[in-house]
Amino acid sequence: MTSGTVGYTQSVAAETSDSRSTTIAVYDSLGASHTPTIQFTRTADPLVWTWAVTDPAGSSGNGTITFTSDGRFNNSSLANPVVIPGLDGADPIDIDLDLSKLTMLSADTTLSPRSQNGLAAGSVSELYGAPNSGEMYLVYSNGLKQLVGQLALAHFTNPSGLLRAGGNQYKIGLNSGEPQIGTANTGGRGAISSGYLEASNVDMAQEFTNMILAQRAFQASTRVITTSDQILQELVNLRN
């Protein structure tokens, strides 16, 4: 059975024989949307209201709300639980209405659900890495963000004892000590900077090639300047 909680705030009017209704969106275990209606009706007792939930799928649920003489919420009682049948094989939806934030005032009624813990079906839209911690989240199209893992870091007692394995990789050496696996920001392992290119993973061969090209360009420019100076000096000598 799918369960959920819907919280209500705002106020209901203190008018005799008053009745007000509003709708809420809920979702079953297969992601299908349901829109049940909740109706509030004032009784002969000015401080007592009844409420009832109806849904085209055949749900039912009702209860009462009692207010204090100054319009504050007093208590609520449940006569029949709110259960909405699922569609196409989905589990029934068990809804727990939180009406404790309602107030009764001598004014127009305003009703709206302020929060709920159900979401429509969604697909993965993004893999997100949290800065510094290395936590990995899946972000879904319905707005849900779910933690799916965390990058592990290794700390060595003697990092200089690691052996170069090529390709900017290192392996455990006799003097490096055993790796102490853990998460970022613990045990001296440092933080993870998402999106940064650090010195530890730079392609040294490519960078060395770039440095040689830059040096040759500098040398060529130097020769041009030297040649220009020599030509100017010859012109000065000819003039003299």
- Beta pairing class for 2-13 and 93-98: parallel
233, pLDDT greater than 50 = yes
pTM value surpassing 0.85: no
Looking at residue 18, its amino acid is D
* Nearest CA among 112, 78, 111, 110 for reference residue 96: 78
Q: In what order do the strands lie in the sheet with 145-150?
A: 124-129, 135-140, 145-150
Distance between CA 186 and CA 168 in Å, rounded?
24
Q: What is the pLDDT of residue 116?
A: 66
pLDDT in tens, 114-139: 666 667 777 888 887 877 788 889 98
Distance between CA 202 and CA 125 in Å, rounded?
30
Looking at residue 28, its amino acid is D
Structure tokens at 17: 């024989």
